[in-house]
């Protein structure tokens, strides 16, 4: 969905026409003779309400630090009767300070629903307002008002604590005016709208496609499916390439000679200076086991990359097929001579797009989680993995977002 850069000059507020009424208000009105006291009591209740707006903080990134600073001694929100409560049940205002991802959004919404009425929402900082410079990334919600009714926007990257205080004062003014049945006139600067308008129409936008809300509701109410673990045991591994008699794949001079010998014994086919040596798929598990025996027992990383046809580790190569490359890194652990650094062993394996990489989960427990992550994000299949399911993305997410052919601006219900 493309970004419409045309500015809009009028938008309704999400809660335009809604007026909050304190539960005591109706009772007082119905009591005979007490109506003369309603006006001052209404003012008193509103005064109490606007001077005790307790914040439920939803701080996810840098803006959260400014929110914390606003609560600290120099600015001291407490002097306005506002302080941060770490529970939705006693919060009046949810302050979303930072970037919200599609994975967080359902949890944020659930916490919002756990806050009792009356309640208000503040979007603090440009990430919460619009997704900011992350807005077009696949995991980022392009503004929290795609799923929350925001009352006050505090602009900035980040807004400072004084900005936070000004936002709360603005909210108090809004609450007071709602008590008096006033409706805010929409105040939106056309030039600012050019910058902040999201590519997907938000709640309350007149031009929002109603089917988008239906999709959101449908996707949000659907229970997440956890697909059964899918081991790929039946993968035929390609044969280990023959090394011509007398030919040796040379290691860079800086490479540990003992490791170089071990890699050669496992059929290494490429020994570049600034990339991991390439090892045949069929020797990969036995290489890992041999390294563990030599003390390289900590699995530091598993990183997969997806290569489209015509591209590979040697650059643009005609005839190169679409494939994955997965790099592993192991580090030595345990006692070592004083001053001697821990040593790292790294290598890569290459699998065709429809193939699989033998899992290291049987040799190194940490591979379970890390290979699962690479399956989720890049789509690499790991043969023999005990539990190959999504780990980072929602279970009903379509596709693998770190693949080179993944459309970055795909519309994925419910949040984008």
Contact positions toward ligand SF4, by CB under 6 A? 61-63, 98-99, 125-127, 132, 157-158
Burial 295-320 (b: 16+ CB within 10 A, else e): bbebbeebbbbbbeeeebbeeeeeeb
Q: Which is nearer to ligand SF4, 67 or 172 (CB)?
A: 67
Question: What is the rounded end-to-end Cα distance, in angstroms, of the chain?
Answer: 10
- Closest C-alpha among 8, 12, 1, 10 to residue 135: 1
Residues 6+ away with beta carbon under 8 Å from 115: 56, 88, 89, 91, 92, 94
Strand ranges for 75-213 from DSSP E: 93-97, 120-124, 152-154
Comparison of 127 and 150: residue with beta carbon closer to ligand SF4: 127
Q: How many Cβ atoms from other residues are within 10 Å of residue 391's Cβ?
A: 16
CB 87 within 8 A of CB 114: no
Task: State which residue, 202 or 331, has the beta carbon closest to ligand SF4.
Answer: 202
Total residue count of the chain as it appears in this document: 416
* Alpha-carbon span 115 to 103, nearest angstrom: 20
Nearer to ligand SF4, 150 or 259 (CB): 150
- DSSP notation for 223-235: PPP-PPP---TTP
Q: Which is nearer to ligand SF4, 382 or 415 (CB)?
A: 415
**Residue 348 beta carbon to ligand SF4: minimum distance, rounded to whole angstroms:** 34
Instruction: Quote the least distance from Cβ 65 to ligand SF4, whole Å.
Output: 8
Residue 99 CB, nearest approach to ligand SF4 (Å): 5
**What is the nearest approach in angstroms of ligand SF4 to the Cβ of residue 22?**
34
CB of 86 to ligand SF4, least distance (A): 20
- Shortest distance, position 401 Cβ to ligand SF4, whole Å: 20
Angle between helices 161-179 and 62-71 (to 10 degrees): 70
Q: Rank residues 99 and 370 by Cβ distance to ligand SF4 and give the closer one.
A: 99
* Residue closer to ligand SF4 (CB basis): 64 or 276: 64
Least Å distance, CB 78 to ligand SF4, is 23
């Amino acid at each position: 969905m493309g970004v419409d850069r045309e500015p809009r000059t009028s938008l309704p507020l999400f809660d335009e026409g809604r007026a909050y009424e304190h539960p005591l208000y109706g009772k007082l009105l119905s009591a005979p003779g007490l109506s003369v006291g309603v006006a001052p009591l209404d003012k008193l209740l509103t005064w109490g309400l606007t001077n005790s707006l307790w914040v439920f903080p939803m701080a996810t990134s840098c803006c959260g630090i400014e929110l914390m600073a606003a609560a600290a001694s120099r600015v001291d929100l407490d002097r306005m009767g506002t302080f941060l409560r770490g529970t939705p049940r006693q919060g009046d205002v949810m302050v979303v300070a930072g970037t919200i991802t599609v994975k967080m959004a359902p949890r944020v919404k659930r916490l919002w629903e756990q806050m009792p009425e009356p309640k208000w929402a503040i979007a603090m900082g440009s990430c919460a307002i619009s997704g900011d410079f992350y807005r077009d990334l696949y995991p980022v919600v392009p503004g929290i008002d795609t799923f929350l009714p925001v009352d006050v926007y505090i602009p900035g990257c980040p807004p400072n604590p004084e900005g936070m205080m000004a936002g709360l004062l603005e909210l108090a003014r809004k609450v007071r005016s709602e008590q008096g049945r006033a409706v805010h006139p929409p105040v939106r600067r056309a030039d600012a709208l050019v910058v902040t308008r999201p590519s997907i129409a938000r709640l309350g936008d007149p031009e929002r496609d109603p089917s988008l809300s239906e999709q959101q509701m449908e996707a949000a109410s659907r229970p997440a499916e956890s697909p059964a673990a899918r081991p790929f045991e039946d993968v035929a591994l390609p044969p280990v390439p023959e090394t011509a008699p007398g030919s040796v794949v040379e290691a860079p001079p800086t490479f540990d000679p003992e490791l170089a010998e071990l890699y050669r014994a496992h059929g290494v086919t490429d020994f570049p200076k600034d990339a991991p040596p390439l090892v045949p798929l069929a020797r990969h598990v036995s290489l890992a086991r041999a390294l563990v025996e030599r003390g390289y027992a900590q699995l530091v990383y598993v990183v997969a990359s997806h290569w489209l046809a015509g591209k590979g580790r040697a650059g643009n190569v005609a005839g190169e097929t679409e494939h994955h490359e997965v790099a592993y890194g192991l580090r030595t652990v345990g006692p070592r001579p004083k001053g001697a650094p821990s040593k790292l062993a790294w290598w890569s394996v290459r699998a065709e797009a429809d193939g699989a990489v033998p899992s290291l989960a049987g040799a190194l427990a940490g591979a379970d989680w890390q290979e699962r992550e690479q399956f989720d994000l890049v789509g690499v299949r790991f043969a023999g993995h005990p539990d190959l399911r999504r780990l980072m993305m929602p279970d009903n997410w379509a596709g693998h977002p770190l693949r080179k052919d993944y459309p970055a601006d795909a519309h994925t219900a419910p949040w984008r």
